[in-house]
């Protein structure tokens, strides 16, 4: 069992310097129309943006991701949220590490801090409300008493609508260098890892087991975005919802080991994935989770179908 020890920072920042949330991501894709068809089918709201479109979740006006037209699929930047009192502290901290601050990209101007990580990914730190959860969002299954039908008719089932962006997994050339950068520069915590193959990072102001994860590749890129749904049944229903729209390639239903979430991944038209996720582990603000290095068989999935042969392939490296 993972050991836990207590600590005392507050969830308003306090004395601890660290990001509190994934604010948004930006992707370039070859065909905005096809991308919009994919995300609408997935259950996200698509809203116009001056450079393309943004995606939102059910009941939220937060722009979790932006999609812009490009010659090929490419992760363009990641934005992380910080508390207001921490922005200048971060500026001094980054400068003390010798990290060069940059101008924002056209179309995404902000008063945040812009720089590149160890793989060259463009990163923004910006003052924003904390969107990572402050408590564990318990997933479940709704049962019924004897004599009551539990499942709705398929034709009457409500559309699956994710409630929030849960986490992002990106490719990195070097797992240890990625851990060192995001711990040392951004104040994240290492949750768990499996050697030099994969690592999971949490926000130390309270977050899911991981809000960001890394998997080794020859180049940077996006592997998947993960979207939280409240019921296990909606993970499977989401897979059917996507298959009905022609998006049949993916992996699931299954349950991960590290993070413990139930999952189904749907492959987008360019080789990355969108994941329906339910009931992920949570690391509270007043606890430090002592990370462990797990064998490969104990770091992927507890049960589920065999993953596709190209599941870990980085199409942005080609």
Supply the range of the domain harboring residue 35. 17-130+163-317
- As a whole number of angstroms, the distance between CA 68 and CA 19 comes to 25
Closest CA to 131 of 57, 220, 231, 224: 57
Residue at 146 is within a domain? no
Beta bridge partners of 142: none
CB-CB contact of 216 with 175 (8 Å)? yes
Residue at 11 is within a domain? no
Query: For the chain, how far is it from start to end, CA to CA, in angstroms?
Result: 40
pLDDT value at position 10?
Answer: 45
The structure tokens listed for 40 are 């609408």
- Percent of the chain beyond pLDDT 90? 86
Tokens 């990195």, located at residue: 172
Region for residue 59 given its phi and psi (left: phi exceeds 0; alpha: psi -120 to 50; beta: otherwise): left
Residue at 158 is within a domain? no
- Where residue 49 falls among pLDDT bands split at 50, 70, 90? confident
Residue at 143 is within a domain? no
pLDDT value at position 16?
Answer: 85
CB-CB contact of 242 with 250 (8 Å)? yes
> Is pLDDT above 90 for 289?
no
pLDDT value at position 2?
Answer: 32
- Where residue 6 falls among pLDDT bands split at 50, 70, 90? very low
pTM: 0.94
- Where residue 310 falls among pLDDT bands split at 50, 70, 90? very high
The structure tokens listed for 163 are 């409630």
- Where residue 263 falls among pLDDT bands split at 50, 70, 90? very high
pLDDT value at position 301?
Answer: 97
Count how many domains the chain has.
1
- As a whole number of angstroms, the distance between CA 261 and CA 192 comes to 14
The whole-number average pLDDT for the span 90-98 is 98
Residue at 152 is within a domain? no
The structure tokens listed for 246 are 């022609």
pLDDT value at position 4?
Answer: 32
CB-CB contact of 168 with 268 (8 Å)? no
Indicate the average pLDDT of the chain: 93
Residue at 138 is within a domain? no
Residue at 257 is within a domain? yes
Q: How far is CA 35 from CA 46, 95, 97, 219, 238, in A?
A: 10, 38, 38, 23, 17
Residue at 203 is within a domain? yes
The whole-number average pLDDT for the span 132-143 is 89
* Domain CATH number, residue 104: 3.10.180.10
SS (H, E, C) the chain: CCCEEECCCCCCCCCCCCCCEEEEEEEEECCHHHHHHHHHHHCCEEEEECCEEEEECCCCCCCCEEEEECCCCEEEEEEEEECHHHHHHHHHHHHHCCCCCECCCCCCCCCCEEEECCCCCEEEEEECCCCCCCCCCCCECCCCCCCCCCCCCHHHCCCCCCCEEEEEEEEECCHHHHHHHHHHCCCCEEEEEECCCEEEEECCCCEECCCEEEEECCCCEEEEEEEECCEHHHHHHHHHHHHHCCCCCEEEEEEECCCCCEEEEEECCCCCEEEEEECCCEECCCEEECCCECCHHHCCEEECCCCCCCCCCCHHHC
CA triple 24-25-29, angle to 5 deg: 145
């Amino acid at each position: 069992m993972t050991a836990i020890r207590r600590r005392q920072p507050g969830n308003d920042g306090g004395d601890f310097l660290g990001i509190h949330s994934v604010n948004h991501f930006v992707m370039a894709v070859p065909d905005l129309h096809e991308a919009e068809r994919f995300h609408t089918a997935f259950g996200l709201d698509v809203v116009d943006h001056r450079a393309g479109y943004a995606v939102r979740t059910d009941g939220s006006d937060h722009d979790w991701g932006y999609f812009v037209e490009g010659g090929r699929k490419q992760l363009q930047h990641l934005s992380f949220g910080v508390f207001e009192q921490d922005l200048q502290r971060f500026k001094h901290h980054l400068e003390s590490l010798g990290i060069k601050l940059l101008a924002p990209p056209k179309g995404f101007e902000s008063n945040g801090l812009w720089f590149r990580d160890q793989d060259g990914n463009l990163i923004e730190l910006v003052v924003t409300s904390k969107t990572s959860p402050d408590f564990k969002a318990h997933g479940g299954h709704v049962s019924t008493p004897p004599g009551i039908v539990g499942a709705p008719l398929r034709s009457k089932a409500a559309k699956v609508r994710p409630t929030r962006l849960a986490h992002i997994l990106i490719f990195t050339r070097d797992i240890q260098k990625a851990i060192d950068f995001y711990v040392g520069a951004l104040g994240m915590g290492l949750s768990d890892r499996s050697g030099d193959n994969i690592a999971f990072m949490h926000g130390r102001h309270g977050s899911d087991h991981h809000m960001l994860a890394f998997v080794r590749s020859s180049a940077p890129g996006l592997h998947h975005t993960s979207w939280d749904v409240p019921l296990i049944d909606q993970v499977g229903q989401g897979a059917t919802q996507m298959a009905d729209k022609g998006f049949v390639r993916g992996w699931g239903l299954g349950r991960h080991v590290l993070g413990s979430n139930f999952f189904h991944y749907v492959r987008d038209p360019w080789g990355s994935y969108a994941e329906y996720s339910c009931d992920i582990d949570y690391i509270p603000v007043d606890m430090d989770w002592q990370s462990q290095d797990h064998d490969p068989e104990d770091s992927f999935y507890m049960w589920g179908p065999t993953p596709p042969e190209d599941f870990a392939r980085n199409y942005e490296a080609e």
